[in-house]
């Protein structure tokens, strides 16, 4: 444990902090805004200056977006139509096919074919 003699007095610490205040302020102020001429090196994307897009780039992006949205609309339409009620005939046919497949799988998984 430290003794009171080892600890600096509060007045000394305050005087040192006030003396170093200008140095700390100068260190914090420098290089806050980089000069326009010098390259900034690597910067995270949110700090990079924005480059305006050309009209051709904007139109190409909008074309891609429109195409993507149209494809989504086609997929959703197909999904809606696939859930529509089917005709009775196709329901009966598919039920019969399911029954046959079930019977075949029962036979296949049983030992019946061994005798």
Enter the pTM of the model: 0.32
> Does a structural domain hold residue 65?
yes
Q: Determine the pLDDT at residue 34.
A: 59
Q: Render 42-95 in DSSP notation, one character per residue.
A: S--GGGSPPPPPPHHHHHHHHHHHHHHHHHHHHHHHHHHHHTSPPPHHHHHHHH
Q: Which domain holds residue 64?
A: 56-81
70 inside domain: yes
Q: Evaluate whether residue 61 is within a structural domain.
A: yes
**How does the average pLDDT of the chain come out, rounded?**
78
Residues of the chain with pLDDT > 90, as a percent, come to: 19
Q: Is residue 4 part of a domain?
A: no
CB atoms within 10 A of CB 32: 6
Q: Is residue 71 part of a domain?
A: yes
Q: Residue 76 domain-assigned? A: yes
Q: Is the model more confident about 61 or about 86?
A: 61
Q: State the total domains in the chain.
A: 1
For residue range 6-34, list pLDDT tens digits in order: 776 888 888 888 888 888 888 777 666 65
Residue 63 lies in a domain: yes
Judged against a pLDDT cut of 90, whether residue 82 lies above it is answered with no
User: Which pLDDT belongs to residue 66?
Assistant: 97
Within a domain: 68: yes
């Amino acid at each position: 444990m430290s003794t009171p003699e080892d600890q600096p007095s509060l007045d000394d610490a305050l005087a040192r902090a006030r003396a170093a205040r200008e140095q700390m302020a100068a260190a914090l102020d420098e290089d806050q805004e980089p000069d326009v001429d010098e390259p900034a090196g690597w910067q995270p994307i949110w700090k990079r200056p924005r480059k305006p897009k050309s009209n051709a780039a904007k139109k190409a992006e909008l074309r891609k977006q429109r195409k993507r949205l149209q494809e989504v609309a086609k997929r959703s339409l197909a999904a809606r139509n696939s859930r529509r009620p089917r005709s009775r005939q196709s329901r009966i046919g598919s039920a019969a096919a399911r029954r046959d497949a079930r019977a075949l799988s029962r036979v296949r998984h049983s030992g019946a074919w061994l005798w």
